[in-house]
A and B are shown apart, each in its own frame.
Chain A
């Protein structure tokens, strides 16, 4: 009889033990309930157990694992809370014309967050050429992808990330400025002057209570007397010149790649520049196979008007470095270090999986 009882107890014991493990590690969202249930299970185990030393060891193990789960969960919650506090929990963020006590305009900063939600856009330049590339994200399988690269003039192109509607309006403005200059002076508008016009326009929206900042970041590439230039225009009204830059979601991976290579871009040939752009796009895809349908690439240069590269040209470049899709991690060209950087990126971007779709979410709202 005692033997039967013992074996029965053991069965119960292991059952609750496994249940406990399951609850601990697989139902992470309901930690609160989880603690209660694990405590309950532990109590039951104790009740049904017959072998005290084994039980006590296992109980100890359980307690430790529970505590670590709790701690990590708390830490994550704290982080989320911090982010939440930064984003939502303050009273100075209702108006763009309200300063915070620490000297920040929160609405402008939130507008820059909108840029980070858009799908990635990448630009790089050599002395004579500028390449703009972007990831094609479609709202659904049925729809076509959003246009993120626009021709402003034969010698200026722009890639956008963020609220694409705002981007479209600003591209129209740029085209208008460019063509007015061409008409009056019969000469192309220097890109440096165009970005200043753009930045001034964006600044106006940060200083009127009845306006809101543009929620789009613009990578403007173009020519002027001194050669090719690449600029980044923020919703805040700032603009910076870059040798290479990436904006949008998961752009950190691309930026890391570009940071390693940018010193050689100045003297790059046109083909190398295109290859670097496509490689940078691949970094933002993070493991997804790179196909020519997933990216759009455009180029302009001193003796080359702005135009898009067609699918075959892009596919040819992809084929030079991606012979078999699974092998690309081992390829000499791929930077293995990107894997860690890429993994760290989603946490930074606040959710990589859903971010790509944010590009179209504002339209749905």
Chain B
């Protein structure tokens, strides 16, 4: 990605070349990621879809990746930007490993590094069009945080991106507890993902759940949720109000 210096004339129009280098809108996007802290670490769930506008074009995209020994990154938004971020983190982790001195970058450090990257890109009007979820466990301490494409970052016990913010977080606010077991955590996440599947048009019924504990990261094989479409409200949506939809 070449960085051309924008030329400013009277009405603030910038160099045409610079324009084509900046991200103006996303093309291939992933939908929400939901993550919670549980007893032993972090659980994160996302589906495997990549939408091209309103078309559900790609159905095998892994939107969660392990970073080093201690962290797990999930992303929604532009897939190509997510891959770019993975390249940055790869370089970061490589240099960290080359020190070979018993110190390693943990989830907090990676989260802050990503915050800096996202914020600096936003300042240059060339954002990485992603909302990132960063979770990890290091030395027994669980960490879960989020960074948005404009550099807003925070930590919480449960986070979600995109539509998940509106549909999943209310469920999590009600039902999340400090000492969820693994099975309970998975059930809770599946509940959130099911709601998203029903209501988010860019969600597909093929999801992965990733688990991050002190021992390491495991990303599950893709699987589908059982759905039930025979709710009365679904079968006969206009009962009581003929003509509406």
Contacts and interface: CB of A to CB of B under 8 A. Distances in A.
Interface of A: 183-187, 190, 192-193, 196, 224-226
Contacts of B104: 225
Contacts of A185: 105, 108-109, 112-113
A192 B109 contact: no
Contacts of B108: 185-187
Contact of A187 (B99, B102, B112, B116): B112
Contact of A225 (B102, B111, B112, B113): B102
B102 A184 contact: no
Contact of B106 (A184, A187, A192): A187
Interface residues of B, number: 13
Interface of B: 99, 101-106, 108-109, 111-113, 116
A107 to B, nearest CB: 30
B103 A184 contact: no
A190 B103 contact: yes
A192 B111 CA distance: 22
A187 B138 CA distance: 13
Contacts of A184: 112-113, 116
Contacts of B112: 184-187
A187 B109 contact: yes
A192 B101 contact: yes
A226 B105 contact: no
Contacts of B101: 190, 192-193, 224
A187 B143 CA distance: 14
A224 B113 contact: no
B85 to A, nearest CB: 15
B94 to A, nearest CB: 15
Contacts of B102: 192, 224-226
B116 A225 contact: no
Which 5 pairs of residues, A with B, have the shortest CB-CB distance? Answer: A185-B109, A186-B112, A190-B103, A187-B109, A225-B103
A193 B105 contact: no
A225 B103 CA distance: 6
Nearest to B139: A225
Nearest to B117: A184
A225 B99 CA distance: 13
Contacts of B105: 185
Contacts of A226: 102-103
B101 to A, nearest CB: 5
15 contacts: A183-B116, A184-B113, A184-B116, A185-B108, A185-B112, A185-B113, A186-B108, A187-B109, A192-B101, A193-B103, A224-B103, A225-B103, A225-B104, A226-B102, A226-B103
